[in-house]
Amino acid sequence: MNWSSGAADEEYTKSLAASPPDHIQIIELPRVDPPPADMRLKSVEAFIYEFIQRYISPVRDAIRDIVSQRQKSLSDDSTRIAGLVLDFFCSPMIDVASEFGLPSYIYLTSNASFLAFMFYLVTRHTHTPSELEMSDSEELIPGFVNPVPRRVLPLASFNKNGGYYGYLKVAQRFKDAKGIMVNTFEEIEGYTLNCLISKGQNYPPIYPVGPVIDFNGPASPELDMAQRDKMMKWLDGQPESSVVFLCFGSKGSYGASQVKEIALGLEQSGFRFLWSLRTLPPFDDQNPEEMLPEGFLERIQGKGMICGWAPQLEILGHKAIGGFVSHCGWNSILESLWYGVPIVTWPMYAEQQLNAFMMKELGLAVVMRLDYWRGQSEDVKADEIEKAVGLVMDGGSEVRKKVKEMSEMARKAIVEGGSSFNTLGKLLEDIIGN
């Protein structure tokens, strides 16, 4: 189901249809009117949940058409629906699947720790039916070894304008799924997964099938290929593991004061760097000198490079990269682990604070901030950035050693005989059996 109106998403779905295997069929759903814009301003989660609700009827019609075609065909090779695989926010579609006697499987692009939090939210609501309150207290969440500070929980769980209930309604439907696929692997979240599948829990089967990384995805339309070639050529000329990479995702933009602090921190650290700089209006990504300290670009000549949109996965795989200052999106974490690049935690929104906390608990990241919220926190100062960069670039650190070990485990998990490979086989057996 492709409900996004973004050109990049449409190009991506077309590329999927054109790539092997050739039996992937993309079904375009009719457009529906989005919820009021002011709902999005109050809570993105509530907006998305309502948007999905408006697609229930078009999805029902699309499935009915496929089922009808199957019934009219005399061929055993005609299309048959084995079940529905649903995105996190699409859990209300479970009711549509049930109407046709079909099993539903949730695919969670985040990790098992976030899933544990969602189950906890449902349990908590039975005795405390209200939003969480921001405080310095901690939550005892099954699946976490240590109490979790409230300040690292997803901001939606505190939102009184529909965000909390958007999350809750989604999570309440998880129990009705036939199974939940999670983009993680046993070796990194074994404790959490064991808690989720332990006896006495009324949860559907959990299938860790990761790390799922799209190595061949299309380039972003925002990527300037000439700039990309310039970046890679510059990296080719740097010593191995000598460059720290800063990239904060598609929404990772900062104002002028924070940009100056980052620049000063990098300069003070003395390390080489590649910085994907995304700015907030009225500034322009193409003219960073407007925001940077006076003379900064001249002083870092040859030692640092500033770019706009960057091919993150390709850069993390380059031998020159030795550290990664990241917003801690789960995809970014998996990509850095895959290539054995240690992370500095700088979360910004959604479940990123919880991801950062998990990485800290596992000893797989250098902690700069855990509870930073974009637009709601004071600037991270140059001295903090300088210190964190120095720690992540320490070639003999315990964090670097652990990340290298986890990289090997991640790669073994998806090959034949690996934990995720075997789990995926079990999932397919269960789907065929249904």
Express each pLDDT in 121-135 by its tens digit: 999 999 999 999 999
pLDDT at 24 (0 to 100): 77
Among residues 262, 253, 288, the alpha carbon closest in space to that of 374 is found at 253
Phi-psi region of 350 (alpha: psi -120 to 50; beta: other; left: phi over 0): left
> What are the DSSP E strand ranges found in 57-119?
84-87, 104-108
Residues in the chain: 434
Q: Which residues contact 142 (CB under 8 A, 6 or more apart)?
A: 116, 119, 120, 195
Q: How far is CA 352 from CA 43, 236, 298, 330, 367, in A?
A: 17, 31, 34, 7, 13
Average pLDDT over residues 215-242: 87
- In this prediction the pTM is 0.93
70 neighbors 92 (Cβ within 8 angstroms)? no
pLDDT at 250 (0 to 100): 75
pLDDT of 74 > 90? The answer is: no
| Domains assigned to the chain | 32-210+415-433 (3.40.50.2000), 225-412 (3.40.50.2000)
Express each pLDDT in 196-213 by its tens digit: 988 667 899 999 999 999
Given pLDDT bands bounded at 50, 70 and 90, which one contains residue 20? Answer: low
Average pLDDT over residues 352-375: 95
Given pLDDT bands bounded at 50, 70 and 90, which one contains residue 252? Answer: confident
- Quickly count: other Cβ atoms within 10 Å of residue 30's Cβ: 9
Please report, for the chain, how many H helices and E strands are present, in that order: 17, 12
pLDDT of 76 > 60? The answer is: no
pLDDT at 198 (0 to 100): 81
- Quickly count: other Cβ atoms within 10 Å of residue 205's Cβ: 16
Given pLDDT bands bounded at 50, 70 and 90, which one contains residue 284? Answer: low
Strand 104-108, strand 84-87: pairing = parallel
pLDDT at 352 (0 to 100): 96
pLDDT of 232 > 70? The answer is: yes
| Residue for token pair 């300290």 | 293
pLDDT of 265 > 60? The answer is: yes
pLDDT at 1 (0 to 100): 44
pLDDT at 3 (0 to 100): 42
Sign for the pseudo-dihedral over CA of 25, 30, 36, 38: positive
Phi-psi region of 186 (alpha: psi -120 to 50; beta: other; left: phi over 0): alpha
| Amino acid (1-letter code) at residue 255 | G
Express each pLDDT in 331-357 by its tens digit: 999 999 999 999 999 999 999 999 999
pLDDT at 227 (0 to 100): 87
pLDDT at 4 (0 to 100): 45
Name, of 79-83, 222-226, 252-256, 323-327, the range with top average pLDDT.
Answer: 323-327
Given pLDDT bands bounded at 50, 70 and 90, which one contains residue 278? Answer: confident
- Alpha helices, DSSP H, located in 149-255: 163-172, 186-197, 225-236
CA distance 418 to 185: 10
